[in-house]
Chains A and B, each alone.
Chain A
């Protein structure tokens, strides 16, 4: 099954000059650019508090950037656009963007199947049959067909995260954002989630992932980007970043996590 249906050429995500300043003049992102091409897998690495989550959340406007512009699959939002226009465009962008959270955030009052069809039914107004058919395909794809009618509380963390991925994919997104999808998991459950992410990448999905799974960064990513203090420090192929980093800060960071 192929989950990526984007037909456009060129970058799927284009962020320009992103600044984010939180309430008390906490300048977290300091003018970041990010271009991600169709089918590309980008892994963002960086110390805790460097702003990785904030950047991901700016891309789908869960957090409104203070300055700069975001374009996802042809929908462009500028930070200084009028509020109502920004809100409408943000909805559009979120519909083209899937996001997986560290803590899964499945809807606990819905079964696995209901979680997956919720977006298509409520947002895309699909009929139940159509939504369920695709949900069943996705469940099969993440290997959880037998959990179809269970509630999330009966699932292991790894299973929950795989359902969360399926829930995002049900919206047929053009890009998937992952914010440390495995860091809340017991070590033995990490593999099953990473494996799903690998297959997603292999199927041609555009992926931006913040993850400390170095194996994923090394073997799956097309590009690794290092962030520090809200700035890019260095970027390149995994080979270059892990074997021949140029920047002193990259070396220090890698020494810390390797």
Chain B
């Protein structure tokens, strides 16, 4: 632990060990250097390809602000939908593990139904079919329901994505909670904690560690699926890119640009994920 590789070897460490440690450090440095070179080569290739393809950079720059403005929608829809999904996932997971038959049945059906139908169909359901249900209910004498159930595009999109991802994440959360050893629950119960306290103080914080990576995965997937709201005529990121690209017959530029913007958003997210994971790992054995 306290061995200084670059300085003089500490007392009591044989020369051979010192040599081995230097070798290990050398290999690590070499690996880091080669990794950087590889990334640099890949980026150079990418840029060269863009130049060879004679991409119209000035055209890209001209439309960049307009396209970027659409990313506001993408961001808004994704963040609100993932928030909704997280809440649904926790409630759903508790339901799936509940000994209350009603709660359990509702949660199980929710997961089964949503996972068993395409997201595209669900989006249209929220946007197009829900008003019809409202109309039918209105005719049954429930006044004002139709107005309530006729959703504008953005809320419909948020609900569709949130409810859909909530179902997938329910299973992630459940698996995370169930991965915590029964001994933890027993130790908490033995202290006199209620079931709720045990879940909140002991099980959930530990499960979170297991859950964060797959949930980040879902979030990344959702950012991209948020382009589905364009189906309802919302001028979000990808919709703008496609429109402009077609109009000027420069789809390649627009698509590359929008792809890079999505990519950047996801890299940012991954960075946040890594920070959270490092924080979560604080109870681990430090090597």
Contact = CB atoms under 8 A, between A and B. Distances in A.
Interface of A: 60, 62, 91-92, 94-95, 97-99, 101, 103, 105-110, 118-119, 122-123, 151-154, 164, 167-168, 171
Contact of B201 (A92, A98, A118, A171): A118
B247 interface: no
Nearest to B180: A108
A154 B286 contact: yes
B106 to A, nearest CB: 22
A101 B184 contact: no
Contact of A62 (B184, B190, B285, B286): B190
Contacts of A154: 285-286
B6 to A, nearest CB: 27
A168 B193 CA distance: 12
Given A105-B186, A109-B205, A122-B197, 8 more contacts: A62-B189, A95-B191, A105-B187, A107-B184, A107-B187, A108-B206, A110-B283, A119-B192
B190 A94 contact: yes
A92 B201 CA distance: 19
B192 A91 contact: yes
B98 to A, nearest CB: 15
B283 A152 contact: yes
B54 to A, nearest CB: 55
Interface secondary structure of B, over-half rule? helix
30 contacts: A62-B186, A62-B189, A91-B194, A92-B192, A94-B189, A94-B191, A98-B190, A99-B187, A101-B186, A101-B187, A105-B181, A105-B186, A105-B187, A106-B187, A107-B187, A107-B188, A108-B283, A109-B205, A109-B206, A109-B209, A109-B283, A119-B191, A119-B192, A122-B193, A123-B191, A154-B286, A168-B190, A168-B191, A171-B191, A171-B192
Contacts of A99: 187, 190
A118 B191 CA distance: 9
Contact of B282 (A62, A92, A151, A171): A151
Interface residues of B, number: 23
A209 B183 CA distance: 18
Given A105-B184, A107-B184, A97 B190 contact: yes
A118 B194 CA distance: 13
Nearest to A97: B190
A103 B185 CA distance: 13
B15 interface: no
Given A91-B192, A122-B193, A122-B201, A105 B283 contact: no
Contacts of A153: 283-285
A193 B192 CA distance: 24
Interface string B171-210: 0000000000101101111111110010001100110010
Interface string B25-68: 00000000000000000000000000000000000000000000
A179 to B, nearest CB: 10
Contacts of B202: 107
